[in-house]
Every structure is written in C-alpha cells, then in structure tokens.
Amino acid sequence: MRHMTKMALLAVGLVLAACTNSGLYSGNNGPGSQSGATAGSVDDPTSIAHFQQVVGDRVLFAVDQSTLSDEGRLTVLAQANWLLDNPEYTAVVEGHADEQGTREYNLALGARRASAVRQLLVAQGVAAGRISTVSYGKERPIEVCSAESCYAQNRRAVTVLAAGATG
C-alpha cells in the first residue's frame, strides 16, 4: 500500500470532501492505509474515498440510454487508470434506472448501463475478472423527487470498490 500524502492533494481532497456526498450504498471502508492521519481518506490516492470523490465513482445516462456520454467516458477512463494503479481492488459496477419505466425493463436497462462501463474498463486493460456487474433497475434511487433533476442523478452506473483477493 502506497502512502502519498502531499499537501496539494490534501488541500484538494478537503475541499472535495466538504462538498461531495458519497454514495448511499457505497462502502467507505476499504483496505486503505492503517497508519497516518490521512490514510484511507480522500487525500490518500489509493483510498476508496479518493476513488469516489476525486476520480469519480459514477457516470450518468440520458433517458432510456446506455451509451456513455463524453463526460462519462472520461470518468470511466480515469477509473480504469486508478484500477490499473491499484490492483488490490476489485469492483462491482452497479447499474440503475430512474422510476420512469416498468420494473423488469429497468432491471435490463440498468444491466446495459453497468455493462457499458465494465466493457470500457476491460477495454482499457483492467482484468475482466476484477469487474462484475449488478443491476438494481429502479429499486435503489438516491434522489427521491419525481422530477428530471432527480431522475438524472438516478440514471447512473456506480463503480463500487471492494478489497480483492490479492490484498
């Protein structure tokens, strides 16, 4: 496990930590460093918090679409780089849909979204065995209003890290 506690990164991390809401269903307790005041927090670039908040753990989709946007694509490329730098982690890509749509269709749509992210990660060289997918359809919204402002946040694929077998 690397320890790269640079002051610059620390400053960026603190700012982001103050304004970013980590995912409701994403764990925050990965195999981060156990020593040092900042280990495992956002300023530790090997930490899950850093992945979530600096790299970006999620991409958003247009209505009924599973094609990555340009912005989403950049996020997934950054995720791929991070995963290549941090081979001790595996990831589950969770696909989600907004509440507009029938339950089973949305399950399949969420799977399409998760798969789009996984395919790009693998194309970037992340070992296929490290990345699995799961769809929650419309079962796990993070925003609860019935308006596009919430729907846009719910149409997402979230890359959730876990400690891999190679710890």
Q: Which residues bind another protein (CB under 8 A)?
A: 24, 64, 66, 99-105, 107-109, 111-112, 114-116, 119, 132-137, 139-146
Identify which of residues 42 and 93 has a Cβ nearer to another protein in the complex: 93
Least CB distance to another protein at residue 31 (A): 19
SS3 sequence, the chain?
Answer: CCCCCCHHHHHHHHHHHHHCCCCCCCCCCCCCCCCCCCCCCCCCCCCHHHHHHHHHCEEECCCCCCCCCHHHHHHHHHHHHHHHHCCCEEEEEEEECCCCCCHHHHHHHHHHHHHHHHHHHHHCCCCHHHEEEEEEECCCCCCCCCCHHHHHHHCEEEEEEEECCCC
Identify which of residues 50 and 118 has a Cβ nearer to another protein in the complex: 118
Least CB distance to another protein at residue 12 (A): 29
Least CB distance to another protein at residue 105 (A): 5
Least CB distance to another protein at residue 94 (A): 11
Identify which of residues 17 and 142 has a Cβ nearer to another protein in the complex: 142
Identify which of residues 1 and 107 has a Cβ nearer to another protein in the complex: 107
